[in-house]
Amino acid sequence: MSVTITVPATSANVGIGYDCLGMAVSLYATFTFDHADELTITGCPEEFANEQNLVYRSFELALEHWGEKPFPISIDIDSPIPLARGLGSSSACTVAGIMGAASLTGRIIRREEAVAIATEMEGHPDNVAPAIMGSLVCSFSPEGGLPHCIRYDVHKKLHFVTIVPPYEVHTSDARKVVPTEVPLSTAIWQMGRISGLTRGLETGDAKLISAACEDRLQEPYRRKLIPDYDDVFETCKRGGAVAMWISGSGSTLMACVDDGLVAESLRARIKQLHPTFDVMVLDCDTRGVRIEM
């Protein structure tokens, strides 16, 4: 019996929440698993159709956690999540592999366990936690301990215009430009605003979101890696967006809008100005990963 795992895309950092905030959005990758005579992977470039595929590596890691031996499977991948654009494509693969392993072995897995295994694979929980739990999640990992995840609801009136330029920003490059030390004043600036932003997203308070979503920790440095940042920011500001941030490491930019018609109008305007961009209006996904037999 085959099993299909559906995983939402995610936006990490959410502006002010560097390496701790992440939000699941309504763009979905599907992964179909089944027992097989040998490992077969379809739906991805040929160079990734082997044991080094991230989905299969996560599948193996989960089995190792449970003391199970690997076995041959077929994996079919259908993912519209763009690669290396800051929308959690690798996290979707990681989560799918873990949940595929649980499903094919009949194991009951809690979300907390899935986040812990996925964090081991990814190195941090900011994308995998919302992919598993849905909605907006603040995550942190204590020294030597399992990740702590705090889930927040996002108000239904909020929509997210997602702007994907036709070029990549690799995570390694994005991390290099962020300072490793910051002044105390910057730390204080971030702490107050991350609390304000999470509350604003919960309540749909546009003024609070706008006031809080002004990052000084990483976005002033990372924006230089995205040539179209300033132009898109001005378009979003004039077009009624409440706030705009770099999604993950970029190059995707995400604008928060508190009116559905305004969101569609802004999407059309950006597409008109940047016809090579992929522009979508997404909502916050509230379910996270799901399993279909």
Q: Are the beta carbons of 43 and 220 closer than 8 angstroms?
A: no
Give the helix/strand (H/E) hosting 30: strand 21-35
Q: How far apart are CA 268 and CA 275, in angstroms?
A: 10
Per CATH, the number for 3-152 is 3.30.230.10
Neighbours of 36 (CB within 10 A): 12
**Domain boundaries of the chain, sorted by first residue:** 3-152, 159-282
Tokens describing residue 183: 């002044």
Binding-site sequence positions: 82-92
SS3 24: strand
Q: Mean of the pLDDT values across residues 35-40?
A: 94
SS3 170: coil
How do the residues of the chain divide into helix, strand and coil, expressed in percent and rounded to 5? 40, 25, 40
Tokens describing residue 87: 């929308």
Residue in this structure with the two tokens 């990372």, named with its chain if needed: 222
Better pLDDT: 1 or 165: 165
Give pLDDT, residue 36: 94
> What average pLDDT does the structure give for the chain?
94
Binding-site sequence positions for ATP: 82-92
Residues 6+ apart with CB under 8 A from 126: 12, 13, 17, 19, 20, 21, 22, 139
Task: List pLDDT tens digits, range 48-65.
Answer: 889 999 999 999 999 999
Q: Are the beta carbons of 243 and 213 closer than 8 angstroms?
A: yes
Task: List pLDDT tens digits, range 82-130.
Answer: 988 999 999 999 999 999 999 999 999 999 999 999 999 888 888 999 9
3-152 and 159-282: identical CATH topology: no
Task: List pLDDT tens digits, range 128-160.
Answer: 999 999 999 999 887 767 789 999 999 999 999
Give pLDDT, residue 170: 83
pLDDT band at 185 (very low <50, low <70, confident <90, very high): very high
How far from 275 is each of 28, 163, 261, 280, CA to CA, in Å?
Answer: 23, 11, 20, 13
Angle value at C-alpha 165, between 163 and 168, nearest 5 degrees: 125
Give pLDDT, residue 48: 87
Amino acid identity at 119: T
Q: Mean of the pLDDT values across residues 221-235?
A: 95
* Class level of CATH domain 159-282: alpha beta
**Percent over 90 (pLDDT), the chain:** 85
SS3 284: strand
